[in-house]
């Protein structure tokens, strides 16, 4: 049996400890059964996942919220499904998230408050020498929770408080250690020729921004660029959206929020790779200045693009930023994440984000990363003849989508691929349904999910691990 004990940082004069047991059983819903003799509660499921471990940490802390100490007895046939490090990391993550509830303020400044717990003891087959690794795993869980809350706070802010300029201020105020922050203004992007991004931005009175977060540790041998869609409010523009769920369009900057959360985690964990986070920040609004269906704009890459619907704005923003990322940083890996198409949510619901790209090995890394952190992705096709035909225009080199909804996530990815060099390793993550309404998870019972911050961090961790192993192998062969 694996026995773990955690303590809250504040201890009362008469400390109370509650004990929970995990066992194999028949329960189909993750909940604590309080009707048991030997423990304060039991969870009895046929199987357990990483998502369950995260939720169990949260559930323990919120169910026994007056307890100073929390003990977890994990039966052998449950404990053996994961390493002790995995149990400790993701329980720590769930515990740390247990205090979070969004509170509105008129300021864009973020308040990512984590619950304070400590790992008190571990009783298992682990040797004494493994205890430092377990304490590191506990700390890592707290770092990941804090980073996801940064993403959640950004997503939860309303559009009248968080817009491109204040998004930059909010991230700047985080003062992420080891990360340099800069941005391109409206004027700079117009001068450089960001026709796609600035074409969308021109309908709003708010200025656009391209935020750059650069984490560049000494002797980094690998460079990864993360690109996030940051539409701080998406009205649909001239192709205005239906009123239903319009209020949720403040989370159309979730890709950018995920990038910020991931960069915070990567820098705090001190991964030995260079990671550049780029957030294309705009508002998509209808006005006399707004881009119209049928307009043709010239992108940063000098490609002319016909606009079909102004509600397909995210791909125009991403296409320019993807081109800029390659020209400026020449990354080894290029990854973008966006709440891009409703079709992804229709196809996959809230179980998976969709994954497309041009490099099978990078797609495999992303799939494994999603499994390892419970932010799953599902591969979908792109760049075949049918999707390319949807982008043929009589009036420009490309149109940015089709009048028909057929295969919309795949058509959008195919459009983006036009702006990615063939030799550039690239993946696109469409997380359209994952930002809100994830209340089937205990850790996401309230407001925005912060989806993507863990996934991007885990992808970068795996790339860093592979690079380290490759370097060690080369050194050994020499």
In sequence order, the 6+-apart residues with CB closer than 8 A to the CB of 188 are: none
Say how far apart CA 360 and CA 366 lie, in whole Å. 10
- DSSP structure string for 73-137: EE-HHHHTTS-HHHHHHHHHHHHHGGG------SS-----PPP-EEEEEEESS--GGGHHHHHHH
Say how far apart CA 189 and CA 207 lie, in whole Å. 11
Angle between helices 360-373 and 50-63 (to 10 degrees): 30
Residue 113 CB-density burial (10 A; 0-12 exposed, 13-18 middle, 19+ buried): middle
User: Phi and psi (nearest 5°) for 282?
Assistant: -145, 165
Q: Which of 135, 241, 388, 441 is catalytic?
A: 241
Specify whether the CB–CB gap between 8 and 16 falls below 8 A.
Answer: no
Say how far apart CA 280 and CA 236 lie, in whole Å. 17
- How distant is the alpha carbon of residue 431 from its chain centre? 9
- Residues 425-438: b if buried by 16+ CB within 10 A, e if exposed: bbbbbbbbbbbbeb
Q: Which of 315, 350, 399, 425 is catalytic?
A: 315
In sequence order, the 6+-apart residues with CB closer than 8 A to the CB of 194 are: 184, 210, 299, 300, 320, 324
**Cα–Cα distance list, 433 to 40, 255, 339, 341, 408 (Å):** 37, 12, 7, 9, 14
- DSSP structure string for 396-461: SSEESS-SS-TTHHHHHHHHHHTTS-TTSEEEEEE-TTSSS--TTSGGGSSS---TTHHHHHHHHH
* Beta bridge pairs of residue 377: 353
Is residue 81 annotated as part of the catalytic site, yes or no? no
Max distance between CA atoms of the chain, in angstroms, equals 77
Task: Please count the other Cβ atoms lying within 10 Å of the Cβ belonging to residue 223.
Answer: 16
Is residue 241 annotated as part of the catalytic site, yes or no? yes
Residues annotated as catalytic (active site), given as ranges: 241, 315
């Amino acid at each position: 049996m694996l026995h773990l004990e955690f303590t809250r940082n504040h201890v009362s004069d008469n400390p109370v400890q509650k004990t929970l047991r995990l066992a194999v059983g028949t329960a189909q819903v993750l909940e604590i059964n309080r009707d048991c003799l030997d423990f304060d509660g039991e969870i009895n499921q046929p199987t357990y996942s990483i998502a369950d471990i995260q939720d169990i940490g949260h559930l323990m802390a919120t169910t026994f919220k007056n307890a100073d100490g929390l003990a977890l007895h994990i039966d052998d046939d449950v404990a053996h499904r994961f390493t002790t490090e995995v149990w400790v990391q993701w329980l720590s993550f769930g515990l740390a998230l247990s205090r979070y509830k969004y509170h509105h303020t008129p300021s864009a400044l973020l308040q990512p408050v984590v619950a304070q717990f400590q790992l008190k003891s571990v009783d298992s087959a682990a040797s004494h020498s493994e205890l430092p690794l377990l304490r590191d795993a506990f700390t890592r869980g707290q770092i990941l929770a804090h980073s996801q809350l940064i993403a959640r706070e950004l997503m939860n802010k309303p559009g009248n408080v968080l817009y491109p300029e204040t998004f930059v201020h909010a991230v700047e105020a985080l003062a992420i250690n080891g990360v340099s922050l800069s941005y391109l203004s409206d004027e700079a992007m117009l001068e450089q020729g960001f026709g796609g991004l600035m074409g969308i931005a021109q309908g709003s009175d708010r200025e656009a921004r391209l935020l750059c977060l650069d984490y560049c540790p000494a002797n980094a041998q690998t460079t990864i660029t993360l690109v996030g869609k940051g539409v701080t409010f998406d009205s649909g523009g001239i192709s205005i959206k239906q009123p239903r769920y319009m209020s949720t369009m403040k989370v159309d900057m979730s890709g950018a929020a995920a990038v910020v959360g991931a960069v915070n985690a990567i820098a705090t964990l001190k991964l030995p790779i260079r990671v550049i986070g780029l957030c294309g920040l705009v508002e998509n609004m209808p006005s006399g200045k707004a881009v119209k269906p049928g307009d043709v704009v010239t992108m940063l890459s000098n490609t002319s693009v016909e606009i079909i619907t102004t509600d397909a704005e995210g791909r125009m923003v991403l296409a320019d930023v993807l081109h800029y990322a390659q020209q400026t940083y020449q990354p080894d890996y290029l990854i973008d994440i966006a709440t891009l198409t409703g079709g992804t949510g229709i196809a996959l619901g809230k179980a998976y984000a969709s994954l497309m790209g041009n490099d099978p090995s990078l797609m495999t890394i992303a799939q494994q990363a999603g499994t390892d952190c419970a932010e799953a992705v599902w591969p979908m096709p792109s760049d075949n003849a049918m999707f390319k035909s949807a982008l043929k225009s009589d009036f420009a080199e490309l149109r940015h989508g089709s009048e028909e909804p057929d295969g919309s996530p795949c058509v959008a990815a195919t459009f983006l691929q036009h702006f990615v060099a063939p030799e550039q390793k690239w993946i696109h993550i469409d997380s359209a349904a994952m930002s809100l309404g994830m209340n089937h998870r205990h850790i996401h019972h309230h407001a925005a999910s912060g989806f993507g911050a863990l996934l991007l961090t885990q992808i970068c961790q795996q790339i860093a691990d592979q690079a380290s192993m490759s370097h060690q192998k080369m050194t050994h062969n020499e």
